[in-house]
A and B are shown apart, each in its own frame.
Chain A
């Protein structure tokens, strides 16, 4: 079960990315534009832009393995590893979650002192719609904050 602290962390504002792999063990990466922990607190649904989703979904339907990195501007970071459950096109609620996340992330970057000409294009400048909602069951959680404890399994 994902702890309350990590549920809050995933809900952001944070930067996220997922990794999958194909049958030849070649990795694939894509950025993620928002994610939610579902009510069961065992699955996460993340939003992947459509133009990057085809290869990701192919990999997930082939072998189900997925890793999601979640990092804040403070450098606090975690990695969630698990198994693919399902995917679907994003709906209006998902889009609202994405838009709230983008707004919060931009505000946080500006609060941290990032120049607006860097923060705005970085947060708002990538196509996040249309998107695919990918749900996976979390099996392991690792601390990824830079330091000697990085990589430590915490759940």
Chain B
């Protein structure tokens, strides 16, 4: 059994953008929004490499990252502890992610801007569901 439970999968459909934090070797943190944290298998996720940004640079010198993802079904949020493993520029994960990024881009007016260069594969070290973070839906509607 892997780290990621099945119930986390809706949070990785790219419906609600994720946040990812990393840190450079000189100790400067970086945080950014990301279209999608892509489910690879129960122990791995992929993050999109679209531009050569600070996240990409940071994890190649200090492989640790954290991601915050939200399920569009339950609105539960999850904290993922990640460790960068390798990058893929072809193959089934890249192709599936590329298609997904294009779909997200077309739905958000970013066609031609979102373009996948690589799928960065991370090992998931932990996945914690934030059970106390939500205000119940019934309370919001009051």
Interface on A for B, CB 8 Å cutoff? 15, 17-21, 25-31, 49, 51, 63, 65-69, 71, 75, 77, 79, 81, 118, 120-122, 124-127, 142, 144, 146-148, 150-151
- Determine if A25 and B113 form an interchain contact, defined as CB atoms under 8 angstroms apart: no
Assembly CA distance A120 to B113 (angstroms): 28
Binding site of A, secondary structure by majority: helix, strand, loop or mixed? strand
- Within the assembled complex, what's the spacing in Å between the Cα atoms of A127 and B35? 23
Once bound together, how far apart are the Cα atoms of A17 and B68, in whole Å? Answer: 10
Which stretch of B5-13, B38-46, B69-77, B90-98 is in the interface?
B69-77
In the bound complex, residues from chain B placing their C-beta under 8 Å from that of A146 are 50-51, 110, 113-114
CB <8 Å contact, B28 and A71: no
Contact call A67/B28, Cβ cutoff below 8 A = yes
Structural contact, B75 and A25, CB atoms closer than 8 A: no
A118 to B70 alpha-carbon distance, docked (Å)? 11
Whether B66 sits at the interface, judged by CB under 8 Å, is: yes
Report Cα–Cα, A90/B70, bound state, in Å. 26
Cα A150 to Cα B132 in complex, Å, equals: 34
Whether A68 contacts B72 by the Cβ 8 Å rule is: no
Q: Contacts A27-B22, A150-B51, A151-B51: A68 and B77 contacting too (C-beta < 8 A)?
A: no
Which of the listed residues A25, A30, A65, A120 has the most CB atoms from chain B within 10 Å of its own CB? Answer: A25
User: Which A residues lie within 8 Å of B66 (CB)?
Assistant: 27-29
Q: Which residues of A contact B133 (CB under 8 A)?
A: 49, 51, 126-127
A113 CB to nearest B CB, Å: 11
In the assembled complex, which residues on chain B have CB atoms less than 8 Å from the CB atom of A68? 31
**Are B23 and A79 in contact, CB atoms less than 8 angstroms apart?**
no
- A21 x B19 contact (CB < 8 A): no
B140 lies within 8 A of A121 (CB): yes
Question: A28 → chain B, closest Cβ, in Å?
Answer: 6
Name the distance in Å between A43's Cβ and chain B's nearest Cβ: 18
A63 to B24, CA, bound (A): 14
